Amino acid sequence: MSDTPRTVTRFAPSPTGRLHVGNIRTALHNFLKARQQGGTFLLRIDDTDAERSKEEYVEAIRSDLAWLGMGPDGEERQSQRLETYEAGFAKLKTSGRVYPAYETAQELDLKRKILLGRGKPPIYDRAALALTDEQRAEKEAAGIAPHWRFKLDHDTPISWEDGVRGPQSFDPAQLSDPVIRRADGSWLYMLPSALDDIAMGVTDVIRGEDHVSNTAMQIQMFEAMGAAQPAFAHTALLVGKEGKLSKRLGSLGCDAFREADIEPMAINALLARLGTSRPVEPIADMNTLVEGFDLATFSRAPAKFDDEELTRLNAALVHAMDYAEAAQRLPEGMDEAAWHAVRPNLSKVSEAQDWWRIVTGPIELPQFSVEDQSFLALAADTLSWDSEDPWHELTGALKEQTERKGKALFLPLRLALTGQGSGPDMRELLPVIGEEKARSRLQRAAGG
């Protein structure tokens, strides 16, 4: 039996807003990693910020993950794990790895500005460690409650092998001791996240490169708690196609995608391969993405998100979509033959409604020349439903009788039958329109 622990990944959003495209990408990477290894994918709601966290966003996160096909194997909420954080905090306090600090936000900001003005990195100077017990007592007697910092071990370099970025090394003396607890007793991100990863047996953490310095500090937290650290991988951040971070990307999420009628697998197919050496393809099966997931293919260069690429993928998936998959989203009365007729002309399933209106009518007709009216009158008389292919039977007969060909033959017929100059293959669409309606439209176009 293998001693290798079962793979456990987690997605840990804060319920302070809707998931955006960057969150979705992080969730997807962790989901794919867990599924590929036959492991566990957990959803952890990081709701320690009681003031900003909202239940409506918790529900939205669950709903969005389900819609994307990334249902978690379990869920935890940080607001229900406060005892775990208190116990971890007490242990670190006993071992001297956390300490109280009393500077106000304004004082800390001034310190940072002074250091920057001197051309130095804005690293916290650990002034709070120099306070005597009497000085601390005086501050607390004056009503100044401390915030708490984790004391980094400056004598132990921090290093790890990152799944995307390769060997990473940090000098802890070049990092500020992170604030882990506010003066009001509430928790910041760093310590609860590390304690949860320990308690939940998380083996792999895949997140954005903006967390690299957090990882360095959290590695020392794992060590201070006597726990093994997960394997970390930090992916390049998403940028817009213009090559810059885009505010729009920060607001582009599942609600916007649903409103635009984008298929969830189009989103997954794009985000799974974006920023990797693998081609972005219209993959309709999540298992294919699972099988092809490989951190070794990820680039450190920024990953460019392009709306046009998403639209292309979406159209390709719709063009290959079976009627059974689309049926519940199609207009009433639209059958499989109609779906197959219009499908190649759709970029979204919702566009089927427009073509169904054309099939069911009424349609608006353009003005036809006298010559075309005569031609369409002949077409109405010639139309026959004797074969399985009335369109080619009609156009073949008209070609013989009128010697029209090409655009002169086909365009007036398409315009008379659909009101559109282009669209689905008429060989498939004409039987969907039906003989009676088709003849009526030809007669009307002919001025009858």
pLDDT tens digits for 143-199? 999 999 999 999 999 999 999 999 999 999 999 999 999 999 999 999 999 999 999
Mean pLDDT value across residues 27-43: 98
Give how far Cα 9 sits from Cα of 3, 69, 165, Å: 18, 16, 19
Under a CB-based contact definition with an 8 Å cutoff, are residues 125 and 74 in contact? no
* Tens digit of each residue's pLDDT (9 = 90 or more) over 383-431: 999 889 999 999 999 999 999 999 999 999 999 999 999 999 999 999 9
Segment 302-345, tens digit of pLDDT: 989 998 999 999 999 999 999 999 999 999 999 999 999 999 99
Condensed to tens digits (0 to 9), the pLDDT of residues 44-53 reads 999 988 888 9
Which tokens is 44 given?
A: 């952890």
333: Cβ–Cβ under 8 A, 6 or more apart, which residues? 356, 360
Confidence label for 85 from pLDDT (cuts 50, 70 and 90) = very high
Whole-angstrom distance, CA of residue 377 vs CA of residue 394: 13
Burial string for 241-263 (b: 16+ CB within 10 Å, else e) reads eeeeebeebeebbbeebeeeebb
Mean pLDDT of the chain: 94
The pair of structure tokens assigned to 173 is 């003396």
In the chain, helix, strand, coil percent, each to 5?
50, 10, 35
Whether residue 1 has pLDDT greater than 60: no
Domains and CATH numbers, the chain: 96-157+165-181 (3.90.800.10), 323-359 (no CATH), 361-445 (1.10.10.350)
DSSP string for residues in 234-245:
EEPPEEETTSS-
Rounded CA separation 204/163 (Å): 10
> Measuring CA to CA, which residue among 76, 69, 25, 28 is closest to residue 201?
76
Paired with 169 in beta bridges are 159
Strand 231-235, strand 204-208: pairing? parallel
Q: Is the model's pLDDT at 205 over the cut of 70?
A: yes
Rounded distance between C-alpha atoms, residue 391 and residue 76, angstroms: 60
Q: Say if residue 204's pLDDT is above 50.
A: yes
Q: What residues have CB less than 8 Å from 144, skipping those under 6 apart?
A: 102
The secondary structure of 398-430 as a DSSP string is HHHHH---THHHHHHHHHHHHS-SS-S-HHHHH
Give the pLDDT score at 233: 98
* Distance of alpha carbon 339 from alpha carbon 355, whole angstroms: 10
Sign of CA dihedral 324, 325, 331, 337: negative
pLDDT band of residue 240 (cuts 50, 70, 90) is confident
Q: What are phi and psi of 411, to 5 degrees?
A: -65, -45
The reported pLDDT for the residue numbered 50 is 84
- In angstroms, rounded to a whole number, what is the distance separating the alpha carbons of residues 189 and 180? 7
pLDDT at 248 over 70: no
**Kind and range of the H or E run holding 48:** none
Is 54 known as a binding-site position?
no
Pick the closest to residue 178 from 230, 221, 239 (CA basis).
221
**pLDDT value, residue 5:** 79
Token pair listed for 65: 């993950």
% pLDDT > 90, the chain: 90
- Dihedral over alpha carbons 383, 385, 387, 391 (to 10 degrees): 50
Give the whole-angstrom CA distance, residue 10 versus residue 17.
19
Q: Residue range 111-118: average pLDDT?
A: 94
What pLDDT, on a 0 to 100 scale, did the predictor assign at position 89? 98
